[in-house]
């Protein structure tokens, strides 16, 4: 009877009075002891209030019940689909919304709805995956900053693919310890593209050289990353690079000359399909003909495979000299052996790239030396 009287009163009451009554009704439903019939009537009254023309009334109801696991689920679902200032309470707070509900709201809702979901105290991997797939920049930033969000490696990679060009998102990703290697590699591509697209670079560097600079900068970054990965991560990164067409001869020679043996061996295993132990054995101790056959089975042409064979022999020698810099030692000696051997075409381009690596390493070594000398003189 009380609820029936409330409904009759609500037909003529002012919006402010209805809002206070809606809030009181919601709190009474959650906090007061009611008979089953009264409880059912109160739930019907709240359902009736969902159609109230005043947003204040629906907002007051949402504020009263959204936090509770004992609220009527049907009412919560309706409030969560209301206009943003009302939905924010249900979407961000309600424990009644399942992962399936949140995924549906993310897919069918507005930018604001997705932002509210990303701000929930805890977010499961399926919900994070949905946001990673369709979320806008602000939503993704909120998701990445949310310590309660469980984000799968695949979702982090998807974010890197979609929004890695966005500086703040890129920085948030790079700060994560769980960022997978293939996602990190994608971000290095975005950085190199951003650099060569700077107005100054476009005005002063011809397109072909900009493309080469971008490619080699990306290769250098990935080679650097490769030295910090676990075997499983290396395998995933190699597969990603192969599928995306980035396991090029120049990339492979860079990794080999840098002494990134784990990465290089995994790449050769991937390209040849040979047994891993067999590949490692050939690289470490195999005779010249066996090493050359291995590289040619990976798809390297004969004139290029010769360079890789020489680099492998030099790597074996350099790895015994712990005081040397692997990159400078191998590149320098490789150039001494092959520079005047009449190479041309792809082989010549490969040696030119090796020379650029050698020069960059010499300059880095000179800077380090100057810094040490300056500190000693101080």
What is the rounded CA–CA span in Å between residue 81 and residue 73?
13
Q: How many degrees, rounded to 5, is the angle at CA 296 between CA 290 and CA 300?
A: 140
Task: Read off the pTM.
Answer: 0.67
Long-range CB pairs of 192-199 (<8 Å, 24+ gap) are 192/217, 192/218, 192/221, 193/165, 194/165
Sequence-distant (6+) residues with CB within 8 A of 230 are none
Residue 26's nearest CA partner among 68, 84, 74 is 68
Domain ranges for the chain? 180-230, 247-378
* Residue count (the chain): 378
Residue 218's nearest CA partner among 250, 242, 257 is 250
Is residue 156 exposed (0-12), middle (13-18) or buried (19+ Cβ within 10 Å)?
A: buried
Q: At what angle do helices 84-93 and 55-65 cross, to 10 degrees?
A: 10
- Per-residue pLDDT in tens (0 to 9) along the chain, 378 residues: 566 777 777 777 888 888 998 898 899 899 888 888 888 888 888 998 898 899 999 999 999 999 999 999 999 999 999 999 999 999 999 999 999 999 999 998 889 999 999 999 999 999 999 999 999 999 999 999 999 999 999 999 999 999 988 889 988 998 998 888 888 888 887 766 665 565 655 566 666 666 666 666 667 777 777 777 788 888 888 898 888 888 888 889 888 888 888 889 999 999 999 999 999 999 988 999 999 999 999 999 888 888 899 889 888 887 776 555 565 578 888 888 776 565 667 788 888 888 887 777 777 767 766 776 666 665
* pLDDT value at residue 292: 92
* pLDDT value at residue 269: 94
What is the rounded CA–CA span in Å between residue 304 and residue 292?
10
Q: What is the 3-state secondary structure (H, E, C) of the chain?
A: CHHHHHHHHHCCCCHHHHHHHHHHHHHHHHHCCCCHHHHHHHHHHHHHHCCCCCHHHHHHHHHHHCCCCCCCHHHHHHHHCCCHHHHHHHHHHCCCCCHHHHHHHHHHCCHHHHHHHHCCCCECHHHHHHHHHHCCHHHHHHHHHCCCECCCHHHHHHHHHHHCCCHHHHHHHHCCCCCCHHHHHHHHHHHHHHHHCCHHHHHHCCHHHHHHHHHHHHHHHHHHHHCCCCHHHHHHHHHHHHHCCCCCHHHHHHHHHCCCHHHHHHHHHHHHCCCHHHHHHHHHHCCHHHHHHHHHHCCCCHHHHHHHHHHHHHHHHHHCCCCCCHHHHHHHHHHHHHCCCCCCHHHHHHHHHHHHHHHHHHHHHHHHHHHHHHHHHC
What is the rounded CA–CA span in Å between residue 176 and residue 161?
16
């Amino acid at each position: 009877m009380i609820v029936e009287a409330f409904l009759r009163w609500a037909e003529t009451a002012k919006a402010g009075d209805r809002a206070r009554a809606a809030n009181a009704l919601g709190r009474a439903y959650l906090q007061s002891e009611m008979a089953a019939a009264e409880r059912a009537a109160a739930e019907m009254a709240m359902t009736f209030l969902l159609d109230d023309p005043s947003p204040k009334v629906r907002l007051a109801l949402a504020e009263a019940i959204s936090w509770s696991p004992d609220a009527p689920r049907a009412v919560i679902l309706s409030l969560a689909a209301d206009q943003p200032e009302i939905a924010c309470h249900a979407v961000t707070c309600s424990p009644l919304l399942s992962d399936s509900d949140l995924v549906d709201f993310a897919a069918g809702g507005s930018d604001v709805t997705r932002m509210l979901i990303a701000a929930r105290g805890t977010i499961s991997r399926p919900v994070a995956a949905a946001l990673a797939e369709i979320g806008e920049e602000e939503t993704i930033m909120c998701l990445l900053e949310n310590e309660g969000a469980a984000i799968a490696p695949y979702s982090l990679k998807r974010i890197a693919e979609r929004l890695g060009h966005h500086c703040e998102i890129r920085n948030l990703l790079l700060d994560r310890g769980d960022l997978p290697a293939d996602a990190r590699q994608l971000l290095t591509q975005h950085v190199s593209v951003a650099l060569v697209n700077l107005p100054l670079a476009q005005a002063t560097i011809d397109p072909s050289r900009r493309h080469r600079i971008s490619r080699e900068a990306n290769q250098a970054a990935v080679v650097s990353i490769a030295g910090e990965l676990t075997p499983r991560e290396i395998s995933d990164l190699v597969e990603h690079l192969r599928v995306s067409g980035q396991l090029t001869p120049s990339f492979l020679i860079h990794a080999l000359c840098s002494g990134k043996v784990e990465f290089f061996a995994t790449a050769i295993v991937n390209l040849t399909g040979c047994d891993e132990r067999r590949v490692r054995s050939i690289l470490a101790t195999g005779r010249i003909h066996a090493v050359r056959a291995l590289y040619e089975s990976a798809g390297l042409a004969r004139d290029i495979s010769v360079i890789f064979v020489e680099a492998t022999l030099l790597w074996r020698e350099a790895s015994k000299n712990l005081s040397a810099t692997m990159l400078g030692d191998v590149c320098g000696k490789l150039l001494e052996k092959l520079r005047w051997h009449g190479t041309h075409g792809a082989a010549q381009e490969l040696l030119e790239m090796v020379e650029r690596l050698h020069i960059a390493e010499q300059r880095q070594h000179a800077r380090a030396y100057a810094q040490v000398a300056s500190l000693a003189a101080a």
